[in-house]
Structure 1
């Protein structure tokens, strides 16, 4: 369809708006649920579910439960990828949304350790595993719906919609928690009952997400594959047989971004800055508001990165993002450690600029790496493995490093090393911006993703 025809067709613009809205709303809800748990792990769960272990071990175990869900992401990615490549993208988006929302709502009604003993943390971990399974399949489907529906030359911009759902989810989770700690249930009331309200709100959000996602048409790429009956029988086998090195390199690019992002989304900064016995000792509500504000900066730079990548290429955009992230890693903790809430906000804001600029282009970048018939499996499993290598245990590792070394500079080095690894992996991957995504171009999609391979 020509550019003029696209502008003249109301259905064309309405379809794209609907897909964009569905991916950003659904992803926001999914990540609200996910980040809500991560924030509560640092603020609440160590006290209510793991306190008998002792203060230091309780916070380590609480952060470990954040990471446990990542171990189940590949299983969720494999399942969602298999069925997403076999029966379609849209159905999996609805299923993962319902699973995530149900698990989050149930966390809001869990009894504590003081009420039922060891059953409380076990149930908490079980529901966190369900969240991990759901998240493993969510992102791949949302990314492909956005990118495969995108107009020509605008994959980065449209692929940024599910990406901005992540900072929007953080903004929503931190904002609701700030409201609960500062207005509705301040002080001890928050630990007694206030923390439950944000989890229970998820029930309303999943109804909204279900309605929006159910109205979206299936991906045009998958429709064409289904019409030709060209679905791959076992996509994951083909993926690792033919593209295992690509999966590893692409996962490493995400690991560098994800580990840095989980300083805020994984609850580490919230716990570190609000610990009354720590070097910062700020109140919960101002810290949560600062995190909420930094999520806005993250969102803006994520959107910019997606749009810019359409003009200068995904790989060049990543290079800018890694350079920004590497520089701001060394500014974050010196600003946080001042104990001044405005400097903390400045540190987080600078940090999220680089983090956003190495994230907005990811949906388009990953989609352009894999052939159409195994694309859902490819992007989902790569994303899940990158999350394990990056953010899964970043809050726990950071807590352990500070406990062992007595300085946050050890955390800075840890994040800097992961950023450099991601930078190197990016340089090994060929820029495939605007490569055809349809099933007619499978051979073109299969070759030349990595430097040194035939192109």
Structure 2
């Protein structure tokens, strides 16, 4: 059953154009960001953070650098949220893509620890911080390109395409490393691992061109004159929507933390229990490729039955999957391992992340929407996704068991379920900044 269209036929190609631009731009930018996550589990531990004979120790150091990138994301959210709310979504997104692409390409040119000592990990961390700053400003703008140009009746489905770009970015990064690993081991460790990073230069040119040609979002243009240019957008967002920011942060805990356990730590765990690394990377890529479709489906479902039920379904599913996921990996059977990743990533995580763009959009008023979404999304990413692989690896190192990791995952799910419940008690009479209308929540 389709909803009647309220836009004119001439507007529809414009909406499609925003969808394509957000999808492609997000895929290219998150390809860059996820490269570090994959490399942390595959090569960075031995090349940049050697630490004795236990490979888990070096991997923990690499994941610490991974967490540093997340710590920089709130700064990027504040900076580019302000630019996006005051000067325009498009300008902010071109800047984030440029910073991300250049930082990633430079990672592929870095000397290793054996060549320059401590300077190698120091330079890697600096570039990771720049990646984090760029990523912090990317998500909110990529979502708003679609959500601010889509009909409310189709906002969930169309906005989910922006998340589809994230899944494609992860697929591209995992596939790049999978193909690079087909090289002989010594060549891969010497220079083959660099190729996926250096390729970012080409992707940067494509993504920047697409975004530069894009018109500004309709909602931003409509409220441009009412925006208080002299004020800091992040402070306005905190004053106008403190409750909504806390709710959105809580919604992120299981979605973001769980995803990095399933996507990054799972590779470390699989290798630890004897599963072939190539199989694990392939399973991640297959599950994330399938996730593109599930994101759109769950976004569509949220248009029909509401954001909260779909989001809660994903969180509960993730909690139920906490123990079976690692048991399925322990089987070391290719079909079973792939099934584990599909259920965890495509279904459990997919229900949350596919619903999230429209859910977050409807929590904030237009004048500070970019900043409000970015603050909540990126601050939560620090303590949820940023530390999840590090904490999970530490638990595995200390207990040599997946049980504590599963309990940790269930704890994150409980936090998110509390946030889902709290989102239903939003105050609809809150006055927004300047002259915009109160945000409407499809709960």
Indicate the TM-score class for this superposition, using the shorter chain for normalisation: over 0.9
Partners of 1:225 and 1:439 within 8 A in 2:
no
In the alignment, which residue of structure 1 is the partner of 2:285? 292
Partners of 1:85 and 1:232 within 8 A in 2:
no
In the alignment, which residue of structure 1 is the partner of 2:251? 253
In the alignment, which residue of structure 1 is the partner of 2:194? 196
Listed one character per residue, the Cα deviations across residues 88-124 of structure 1 (whole Å, up to 9, x for unaligned) are 1110011000100100000011010111111110000
Listed one character per residue, the Cα deviations across residues 301-326 of structure 1 (whole Å, up to 9, x for unaligned) are 21111111111111111122112222
Partners of 1:180 and 1:186 within 8 A in 2:
no
User: 3-state SS of the aligned residue for 2:386?
Assistant: coil
Partners of 1:167 and 1:299 within 8 A in 2:
yes
In the alignment, which residue of structure 1 is the partner of 2:360? 366
TM-score, with length taken from structure 1: 0.91
In the alignment, which residue of structure 2 is the partner of 1:218? 216
Note the 1:272-421 alignment, pairs <5 A.
272-274=269-271, 278-279=272-273, 281-352=274-345, 353-421=347-415
Listed one character per residue, the Cα deviations across residues 313-355 of structure 1 (whole Å, up to 9, x for unaligned) are 1111112211222222221000111222322111111111110
Distance 1:292 1:4, change over 3 A: closer
In the alignment, which residue of structure 2 is the partner of 1:95? 95
Looking at structure 1, the residues matched to 321 and 157 of structure 2 have their Cα atoms a distance apart, in angstroms, of 25
In the alignment, which residue of structure 2 is the partner of 1:6? 7
1:120 aligns with 2:126: no
The CA deviation at 1:51 is 0.7
Looking at structure 1, the residues matched to 234 and 420 of structure 2 have their Cα atoms a distance apart, in angstroms, of 23
Distance 1:224 1:301, change over 3 A: same
Partners of 2:395 and 2:405 within 8 A in 1:
yes
Query: Unpaired runs of 5+ in structure 2?
Result: none
1:28 aligns with 2:27: yes
Looking at structure 2, the residues matched to 261 and 168 of structure 1 have their Cα atoms a distance apart, in angstroms, of 15
Looking at structure 2, the residues matched to 52 and 414 of structure 1 have their Cα atoms a distance apart, in angstroms, of 26
The CA deviation at 1:4 is 6.3
Query: Unpaired runs of 5+ in structure 1?
Result: none
Looking at structure 2, the residues matched to 289 and 304 of structure 1 have their Cα atoms a distance apart, in angstroms, of 23
Partners of 1:99 and 1:131 within 8 A in 2:
yes
Looking at structure 2, the residues matched to 5 and 311 of structure 1 have their Cα atoms a distance apart, in angstroms, of 17
Q: How many residues align?
A: 437
1:171 aligns with 2:168: no
TM-score, with length taken from structure 2: 0.93
Partners of 1:20 and 1:161 within 8 A in 2:
yes
Partners of 1:109 and 1:196 within 8 A in 2:
yes
The CA deviation at 1:53 is 5.5
CA-based RMSD: 2.4
List structure 1 segments (4+ residues) > 6 angstroms apart after TM superposition: 437-441, 448-451
